[in-house]
A and B are shown apart, each in its own frame.
Chain A
Amino acid sequence: MRFRLALALLSGRLIGSAARLSGRGGGTALPGLAANRLYPDLLPEMTGGIPEGVILVSGTNGKTTTSRLLALMLTSGGKRVLHNRTGSNLIRGIVAAIVASSHLDGRPVGDIGLFETDEAVLPVLLRQVQPRVIVLNNLFRDQLDRYGELDSLYRSWERALTTLDPAVHLVVNADDPALARLGELATGSVTYFGLDSSELALSELPHAADSGACPRCKKPLVYSAVYVSHLGAYHCPNCGFSRPQLDVRATEIVLHGTTDTELTLCGLYGEHRLRMNVPGLYNVYNGLAATAAAYRAALPWDAVECGYSGFSAAFGRFERIHAEGRDVVLTLVKNPVGCNEVLRILSSEPSSEPLLIIINDQTADGRDVSWLWDADFELLASMQGPIITSGLRAADMAVRLKYAGIDPAQIHVEERIRAALRRAMEGTSVGGTLRVMPTYTAMLALRAHMGELGWVESYWEE
């Protein structure tokens, strides 16, 4: 059987190289598909052979950022990390990452596995892989047409997580009531993280918030602080369910526009004042998740600190690109919660430079663009500069902005992405910053075009 495994690994690797050479893209999924077909037990066998076990990171938002930060911490701690770094987070992407870094005799090259896992895939993966730690970031509404309703996703998580081996440790966002409930039901031990910074809290649940119902008794929850969507400090007056005691928390958070964030980290590692080189409150959650997972992987504090200081924005997450004497800030938008955080950050920095919003409705974006109406584009109403809308659903975006109270004379519809980028760049002053909010496939198209212009490297070569 070893021969068959070697064959699977070899063919996976050959397909990966061929895909890269032929320029068909990053070759991130196809090799995994092929290797898994040839050797269906590849995943359980090979992950079982990783000496320090496997960490899974799942949730609607923040998987990529959390995994990348955690990977940096682990690397800083001297560990070789086997990581699906490109964000290809379905089973085949995870298999491909393993295939790409293994000896042909089946020994993985790496001390510890770190796999960002699509939220719908997590229950499936858990049937094949026994992780050491699972990080649960959050559950928001995302691309409902792809996953069915949030409730059924939650139920499949509940089934998977309540039947785990008690040795599996959970790292759970305590500010998400549904996840805190899963932590309560879990068989293994749980580390909870959350925010403790009420000066940054919203006054009420935003429109995009998914629920306000107690996950235990279904009666309305009462929030003493709301941070992002339904994430916050809450309790249920009916059954007494409340946010669990935080093992690690962020306090005294200071947000600096589109650039960085300061915070004090308390718990697990003592108390430390930190700077994260990424903006936005949701990244504080990602930092806490990575910190708690690092602690459970027995990393020392200096490795964690080193990870924080070396961290910069991931692909398309407030990524800054220099081109033609201007800065282009790229921020992926994929669902109302993430979009609201981006809008919150953008509206905190007054600017009269253009904003380019590119909305596609391909499968990877979510076919349904209704979510544009759950996001608070009203936050842009005070914006002075032009807004260019582009992509397959450019007109839907223009309508949304008009009804959000933005002067239609400020709104320009240009479906073609190249022409829209050209127009937006011409409208941006030299030395100024163009802000771009693309959906997923729009970002891929935009990156490809920027690659042709020589502004960026192709993403799989990073």
Chain B
Amino acid sequence: MKLTIGFLYGRLMNIYGDRGNVVTLAQRARWRGIDVETVTINAGDELDPERCDVYVFGGGQDREQFVVADDLAAGTGERLTAAVADGAVVLSVCGGYQLLGHYYRPHGHDELRGLGLIDAHTIAGDTRFIGNITLHGPLGDLVGFENHSGCTYLGSGALPLGTVAQGSGNNGEDGTEGAYTGKVYGTYMHGPVLPKNPALADRILTEALERRHGPVTLPPLEDTFEARAHESARSRP
């Protein structure tokens, strides 16, 4: 079995260690005997909708986000949408998450058009939400670290990843955090999110493998360190 991971804008949109999500998917696949290839797709590169099973799309600062929004509008966005329609999985974090919604309205800049893969929109706020975050939800309890001032509001076509138990989440108002529509996931959780939430990592891995291999059941892994890191993150103020 083979898995191909696309690290979307790995050069520009890679702050707060989100590369760790790529490493986590790759290692958890390898430990189960699956061949892994990782490709980084930078601005200006041509995204091949056939090639990758899962895309990881991280966060960046506003300046980088403008460059990325331009590149998405120049054709990459259409190709990514085609890949999703064909069964590819996307995990987007922070700035990436904002650009997968319908639009992002930053301070002092024109609205950035998003891809609309997640039924949500984002408006730059005045408060920066910074700190450890914990949620309960349909995909289990999740932990991470949020650091954003964008406020994201979900439409009826998106489900939140969970309800915030500690922290601010999508907008600091409605108690939701993150979103998923089909196999497209968005979250504000850094940490990075996958290493300390191995169940979410395995869900994404399973869905990614199913694009080419039909229903897959992954054998369990030894996750002692991961569980301990999850617990210590949860216990921090």
User: Which A residues fall within an 8 A CB radius of B?
Assistant: 141, 144-145, 148-151, 205, 207, 211-213, 218, 336, 361, 367-374, 392-396, 398-400, 402-405, 408, 411, 413, 415
A226–B76 CA distance with the chains assembled, in angstroms: 29
Contact B196 A373 (CB under 8 A): no
Contacts A218-B63, A395-B225, A396-B233 given; does A144 touch B15 at CB 8 Å: yes
The reply on B38 being an interface residue by CB < 8 A is no
Contact A368 B232 (CB under 8 A): no
A395–B63 CA distance with the chains assembled, in angstroms: 34
A361–B19 CA distance with the chains assembled, in angstroms: 20
The reply on B226 being an interface residue by CB < 8 A is yes
Contact A373 B132 (CB under 8 A): no
Sample (15) of A-B pairs whose CB atoms are under 8 Å apart: A144-B147, A145-B131, A149-B62, A361-B236, A367-B131, A367-B145, A370-B20, A370-B145, A373-B18, A373-B23, A395-B231, A396-B229, A396-B232, A402-B225, A413-B225
Q: Nearest-CB distance from A207 to chain B (Å)? A: 6
A242–B13 CA distance with the chains assembled, in angstroms: 24
Count of chain B residues near A, Cβ 8 A: 37
Question: What 1/0 flags go to B1-32 for Cβ under 8 Å of A?
Answer: 00000000001101111111001100100000
Q: Nearest-CB distance from B107 to chain A (Å)? A: 11
> What is the predominant secondary structure among interface residues of chain B facing chain A?
mixed
The reply on B228 being an interface residue by CB < 8 A is yes
Contacts A218-B67, A396-B196, A413-B228 given; does A403 touch B27 at CB 8 Å: yes
Q: Of the candidates A148, A149, A211, A374, which one forms a contact with B19 in the assembled complex, judged by CB atoms under 8 Å apart?
A: A374
Q: Which residues in chain B, 174-232, are within 8 Å of chain A measured between CB atoms?
A: 190-192, 195-196, 222, 225-226, 228-229, 231-232
Q: Of the candidates B14, B67, B232, which one forms a contact with A393 in the assembled complex, judged by CB atoms under 8 Å apart?
A: B232
Q: Which residues of A contact B63 (CB under 8 A)?
A: 151, 213, 218
Q: Which residues of B contact A368 (CB under 8 A)?
A: 16, 130, 145, 147, 190
A150–B15 CA distance with the chains assembled, in angstroms: 10
Instruction: Write the chain B residue with the least CB distance to A397.
Output: B229
Q: Nearest-CB distance from A24 to chain B (Å)? A: 24
Contact A373 B61 (CB under 8 A): no
Q: Nearest-CB distance from B5 to chain A (Å)? A: 14
A206–B236 CA distance with the chains assembled, in angstroms: 30
Instruction: Write the chain A residue with the least CB distance to B28.
Output: A403
Contact B128 A148 (CB under 8 A): yes
Q: Nearest-CB distance from B144 to chain A (Å)? A: 9
Q: Nearest-CB distance from B49 to chain A (Å)? A: 24
Contact A403 B147 (CB under 8 A): no
Q: Which residues of A contact B19 (CB under 8 A)?
A: 207, 373-374
Q: Which residues of B contact A408 (CB under 8 A)?
A: 222, 225
Instruction: Write the chain A residue with the least CB distance to B229.
Output: A395
Contact A374 B232 (CB under 8 A): no
Q: Nearest-CB distance from B221 to chain A (Å)? A: 10
Q: Which residues of B contact A394 (CB under 8 A)?
A: 232
Closest 7 A/B residue pairs (Cβ) = A373-B20, A373-B17, A370-B17, A395-B228, A395-B229, A398-B225, A370-B16
A268–B218 CA distance with the chains assembled, in angstroms: 64
Instruction: Write the chain B residue with the least CB distance to A151.
Output: B61
Contact B128 A369 (CB under 8 A): no
Question: What 1/0 flags go to B62-80 for Cβ under 8 Å of A?
Answer: 1110010000000000000
Contact A370 B190 (CB under 8 A): yes
A211–B236 CA distance with the chains assembled, in angstroms: 31
Q: Which residues of A contact B236 (CB under 8 A)?
A: 361, 392-393
Q: Which residues of A contact B232 (CB under 8 A)?
A: 392-396, 415
A211–B195 CA distance with the chains assembled, in angstroms: 25
Instruction: Write the chain A residue with the least CB distance to B226.
Output: A399
A212–B16 CA distance with the chains assembled, in angstroms: 17
Q: Which residues in chain B, 147-167, are within 8 Å of chain A measured between CB atoms?
A: 147
A359–B225 CA distance with the chains assembled, in angstroms: 15
Q: Nearest-CB distance from B30 to chain A (Å)? A: 10
Contacts A145-B147, A392-B236 given; does A207 touch B14 at CB 8 Å: yes
